[in-house]
Amino acid sequence: MTTENDTMRALVQRSRGGPSGLTLQDDYPRPTAPGPGDYLVRVEAAGVNFADVMQSRGTYGGGPEVPYVAGFEAAGEIIAAGVDVEDPHPVGTHVIGAGRGAFAEHMTMPAAAGVLPVPSGWSDAEALGLVLNWATALAALRPLGEIAHGDVVLIHAAAGGVGQAAVRIARHYGAQVIATASPAKHGIVRSLGVDTVLDADRPDLAAEIIRRSGGVDLVLESVGKKTFATSLSVTKPFTGRIVVLGAASGEASLTTHDLVFSHPVQIKGLHLGALADAARPVFRGLLDEIQELIDQGVYAPCTPHVHPLHEGPTVLRAVASGTTHGKHALDPWWC
């Protein structure tokens, strides 16, 4: 027999048919205790990311089998801490972190995935993006991208959550930014201080980038099929780097022949969860550096578009279509 305290509202993915496979369930079993190394968190705001769209389609690497509670990113209040949590935050601390099942009233959050306190004076929703969008952008630019002052950096999908973070960080470290975004979003990117914003669909994109820069030192490639050939052709031979952190438009192909004879560039893949698992000191360094960026005023509070939990499928469809900008979030307590 279950009681009201044993259940919660949650968005459950019941098929691999994309966002349409999400359904709101009012009586989903609620996690009542954290496992080893986990926190139990009362979710106040859940971040929406393109990875959620991929997982809803079954294309996200290592994704769970249906049915499952959707969502990766959340901010909320710690209500319990499991054993084996190193340097645990006290119960009652409001934190931002990642874990499975964020689109719900409660979730368990692995401490090792980088659970950070919500900065003083910020709401939970304002902290969204800190350990996913900003950590991804920083990892792509710094330890992987090896950004240096004066570098020319090409940032695709610059109006998105990771894109906007990458623009701010790249400019902070003295890079010249060339950005791509749909024409309707150019104003958003220019408001971040970027002078060169181009339409990723223009047929002469590569030629225009070369004309303006002579070649770029670093590319943040999150679009995939639609932009990958351009990214390869505009990156400086041998010294240029491409960090691949997504494929929103589909998969792109690359051969050893391409790398040896046509595009001799450095290509690095980035998945933040894998980085946290395989290179823990590097990941912890990213979180420390983000705190420094907050202290310096480079990272300001997020201003997400917040929606009720039941609107999750609609929001994910908009993210999938590329019609959104900035950060979107779901409030599980907004009925």
The string of DSSP codes covering 149-217 is: TT-EEEESSTTSHHHHHHHHHHHHTT-EEEEE--GGGHHHHHTTT-SEEE-TT-TTHHHHHHHHHSSBS
Per-residue model confidence as pLDDT tens digits over 32-62: 999 999 999 999 999 999 999 999 999 888 7
pTM for this entry: 0.92
- Residue 4: which pLDDT band, with cuts at 50, 70 and 90? low
**Span 84-113, average pLDDT:** 95
What pLDDT sits at residue 284? 93
Specify burial of residue 195 (Cβ count, 10 A radius: 0-12, 13-18, 19+): exposed
Domains 4-129+302-331 and 135-274 alike in fold: yes
Conformational region of residue 59, where left means phi above 0, alpha means psi within -120 to 50, and beta covers everything else: alpha
- Residue 2: which pLDDT band, with cuts at 50, 70 and 90? very low
Residues listed for the chain: 335
Query: Architecture of domain 135-274 in CATH?
Result: Alpha-Beta Complex (3.90)
Mean pLDDT of the chain: 95
> Which residues, including other chains, have CB under 8 Å from residue 178's CB and lie 6 or more apart?
152, 153, 154, 155, 194, 196, 198, 209, 212, 213, 216
Is the Cβ–Cβ distance between 228 and 156 less than 8 Å?
Answer: no
- Residue 1: which pLDDT band, with cuts at 50, 70 and 90? very low
What pLDDT sits at residue 66? 95
Query: What secondary structure letter does DSSP report for 19?
Result: G
Higher pLDDT, 218 or 5: 218
Place of tokens 């966002």: 19
Domain boundaries, the chain: 4-129+302-331, 135-274
Per-residue model confidence as pLDDT tens digits over 274-312: 999 999 999 999 999 999 999 999 999 999 999 999 999
Per-residue model confidence as pLDDT tens digits over 178-212: 999 999 999 999 999 998 999 999 999 999 999 99
Topology of 4-129+302-331 in CATH? Quinone Oxidoreductase; Chain A, domain 1 (3.90.180)
Apex 321 CA angle, 330 and 245, nearest 5 = 80
